[in-house]
Structure 1
Amino acid sequence: MKFVKSPKSLQWILTVITLAISVPQVFAQDAGTRVAVVNSEKVFNESNLAKAMQTRLQNEFTKRQNDLRDSAQKIQTAAEKLDRDAAVISEADRVRRQRDLADQDRELQRKQREFTEDLNQRTFEERAKIAEKANAVLRQIAEQRKLDIIVQEAAFASPKADITDDVIKALNSQK
């Protein structure tokens, strides 16, 4: 660089840059900005609403999951039977059974994809309901404690800034 002529001028430039970066932080601290942190995954996993959601989804999807597992077992059993019988059945019968098994397997895979999509959609819907209620609780806590900012999923937070347990407790106390 042409404008940096000496180590002293480089040191002076670095000092100015450091001050420019740190001065807003000092003013924010002086202004008394109050920050809290919440771990939303913990809320989604440990609150009573989340546990009720898991139970609802389990009740809703258990039968389909069991049906899929039974279908997969039937296909597996039929494939093993075909392997055992391959030497004693005609070529045409073997080919027909292989096609039937392939068709059944494709149908099973389609049903498994639908199951996964439906489960993901319902999970998303249920989590959205919990998030809506949690956001209302967060607003209440922010107002009560006069918080300026609530951060979700901070890379690091002091335990005294973490309000996750308070959010869970407030959610659990709701009807």
Structure 2
Amino acid sequence: MSARSALLAALSSLALLLAAPVHAENDVKIGFVDTERILREAAPAVRAQKKLEKEFEKRSQELERMAKQLQAMQQNMEKNAVTLSDSDRRAKEREFSELTRDMQRKEREYREDLNQRRNEELSGVLDRANKAIKVIAEAEKYDIIFQEVVYRSARIDITEKVLKALADPPATK
């Protein structure tokens, strides 16, 4: 959701609340959930992060190994610059450039794959969180629950309840 559409949605919701009859004002129950906190702290989000770290561990180690290799090559070239012949120096520079390009390509692929997998995993977490929010909203008779706001009072923050709901093992289908 873009910032503009989020702002319009929030303003529309606010307008609806303000348009409600004054006598019903005390009957409106509003809640808020900190989605970023859910994605950081919820048990399924933590499990997803650990799963991603394990899944991408070998590739991360390979990139670290390549970075160390490049650093060693650069230091070696600088150290031996005056003793190398022009053809040896050019060969080492070419080898260094090829390895640099290879590493940059692998880093880009790593980031793209990691971002895609993170989005997949977090999408599942958000689905579970939204279901938990709906259950809490219905059980506690909330009229509206916001997930993105500019300001909120701690009094309406139900993030802890959602985190607790997500900590419980998922119900079997």
Normalising by the residue count of structure 2, what TM-score does the alignment of the two structures yield?
A: 0.83
Q: Is 1:115 equivalent to 2:91 in the alignment?
A: no
Residue in 1 aligned with 2:64?
Answer: 69
C-alpha distance in structure 1 between counterparts of 2:78 and 2:84, whole Å: 10
SS at match of 1:150: strand
What CA deviation, in whole Å up to 9, does each residue of 1:100-126 have, x standing for no partner? 100110110110111111111111111
Structure 1 runs (4+) greater than 4 angstroms displaced:
none
- 63, 76, 81: which one aligns with 1:86: 81
Q: Flag the 1:28–1:63 CA change in 2: closer, same or farther, 3 A.
A: farther
C-alpha distance in structure 2 between counterparts of 1:140 and 1:68, whole Å: 44
Letter in 1 for 2:154: P
- Please tell me the root mean square deviation across aligned C-alpha atoms, in Å: 1.8
- 50, 67, 72: which one aligns with 1:55: 50
Q: Is 1:27 equivalent to 2:20 in the alignment?
A: yes
C-alpha distance in structure 2 between counterparts of 1:56 and 1:23, whole Å: 42
Structure 1 unaligned runs (5+)? Answer: 1-21
- 143, 150, 153: which one aligns with 1:155: 150
Letter in 1 for 2:23: D
SS at match of 2:52: helix
Structure 2 unaligned runs (5+)? Answer: 1-14
Q: Which has the larger displacement, 81-90 or 143-152?
A: 81-90
C-alpha distance in structure 2 between counterparts of 1:127 and 1:77, whole Å: 38
Residue in 2 aligned with 1:14?
Answer: none
Q: Flag the 1:109–1:83 CA change in 2: closer, same or farther, 3 A.
A: same
Deviation at 1:160, TM superposition (A): 2.1
Q: Percent identity?
A: 34
Q: Of the two, which has the highest radius of gyration?
A: 1
C-alpha distance in structure 2 between counterparts of 1:126 and 1:23, whole Å: 35
Q: Flag the 1:70–1:23 CA change in 2: closer, same or farther, 3 A.
A: closer
Letter in 2 for 1:25: L
SS at match of 1:86: coil
